[in-house]
Amino acid sequence: MSDQPKDLVVVITGASAGIGAALAELVARRGDIPVLVARNRAALEEVAGRCAGRADVHVADVTRRADVEGAVAATLQARGRIDVWVNNAGRGITRVVSEVTDQDFDEMMTVNVKSVLYGMQAVLPHFRARRTGQIINVSSMLGRLPFVPFRSIYAAAKHAVNALTANLRLELAEQFPDIAVSSVHPGIVATAFGSNALHGGPDSRQLPGAQSAEEVATVIADLMDSRQADVYTRPEARQSVAAYFAADDMAAVERQSMLRVRR
C-alpha cells in the first residue's frame, strides 16, 4: 500500500445528518478535510460549522449522476485531490415484499444503489490516475442478514451494494492494488433513519440496542487507516453472519431471529 498523504480529503455523501454528519466532525477533529455532500445547504452549513473551519460544502443530489460528477470536479478544483470517497447517503423503507410497488422498488434502488454506483464511477478516473485512493460504501447488517421483513427492498438494495463493492474490488485488484474498496455494515443506529423511511416507521433512536452515530463514525474513520475490505460496527456481527450462511437450515436461523425480536 502506498503512503497516504496527511490532511486526507474525504468526500462524504449524506453528510447533512446522522452517520455522515458524525463522520464529518470526526474527520475534521483528526486533522483531515471533510467535503460534505447532500441536498440541504442549510443543514450542510450547520454541520460544517462544527468542523473547525476545515469542511467544504457541496450541494448535490446523489441520485443524479451529473450532480455526483459535479461534486468530484468541484472538490478537485478546490483541493486538488480526493483521498477517500464515502458513499453514505441512503434511505430506508417500511413495507413487506408482498406490498412493494414499482415506485417503492425504483426509489430504493435509486437512492441506495445508483447513488453508490455513481459515486464509485465518478471518482474512479481520479483514483486510477493517482493509482491510489479508497472508496467506502456504507452498507447495512440487513445487507448480510435480511431479518426485518418490513425493510425488504432496503435489504435487497444493500445486498446489491455489497455485490458492487466486491466486484469493483476484484476488478481493480491486479492493476490498481492501492485503490481500496471497502464496505461497512452498521446495525440499528440512533438516528432519524427509521422515522425518515419511505412510508414512515419506528424511530431508530427509540429502539433497544441502537448504536450511536458517533460510534459508527469511529469505525469508518478507523477503516480509512486499516483499508480493510469489509468491517462491522459490532464485534459479534461477523460471527452472526458466518453462522447464518453456514447453517444447514437458513430458515431456522431466520425464525429464531424473529422470535428474539418479538420478545
- Does residue 247 lie in a domain region? no
Kindly state whether residue 250 falls inside one of the protein's structural domains. no
**pTM reported for the whole predicted model:** 0.94
Question: Does 51 have pLDDT greater than 90?
Answer: yes
**CATH at 212:** 3.40.50.720
Residue-wise pLDDT for 95-135, tens only, equals: 999 999 999 999 999 999 999 999 999 999 999 999 999 99
Band (pLDDT 50/70/90 cuts) for residue 257 is confident
What's the mean per-residue pLDDT of the chain? 94
Q: Per the domain annotation, does 172 fall within a domain?
A: yes
- % pLDDT > 90, the chain: 89
Give the pLDDT score at 125: 98
For the chain, what is the domain count?
1
Q: Is residue 144 part of a domain?
A: yes
State the alpha helices, DSSP H only, in the chain: 18-29, 41-48, 65-79, 102-109, 115-130, 152-173, 213-226, 237-246, 250-262
Residue 56 in any domain: the answer is yes
Q: Are 153 and 95 in contact (CB under 8 A)?
A: yes
Q: What is the pLDDT of residues 191-222, one digit of tens each?
A: 989 999 999 988 888 787 889 999 999 999 99
Question: Which residue type does 151 have?
Answer: R
The per-residue pLDDT for 42 is 98
What's the distance, CA 133 to chain centroid? 17
- pLDDT tens digits for range 56-74: 999 999 999 999 999 999 9
Kindly state whether residue 47 falls inside one of the protein's structural domains: yes
- Predicted confidence at residue 63, as pLDDT, reads 98
Domain holding 153, by residue range, is: 9-236
| pLDDT computed for residue 210 by the predictor | 86
Eight-class DSSP state of 2:
P
Average pLDDT over every residue of 222-247: 96
Q: How many residues does the chain have?
A: 263
Q: Is residue 217 part of a domain?
A: yes
| 1-34 per-position pLDDT tens digit | 445 556 999 999 999 999 999 999 999 999 999 9
Catalytically active residues, by annotation: 154
Report the side by side order of strands in the sheet with 179-185.
56-59, 33-38, 9-13, 84-87, 133-138, 179-185, 230-232
Q: Residue 257 falls within a domain, yes or no? A: no
Over 70: is that where the pLDDT of 259 sits? no
Is residue 144 pLDDT above 90, yes or no?
Answer: yes
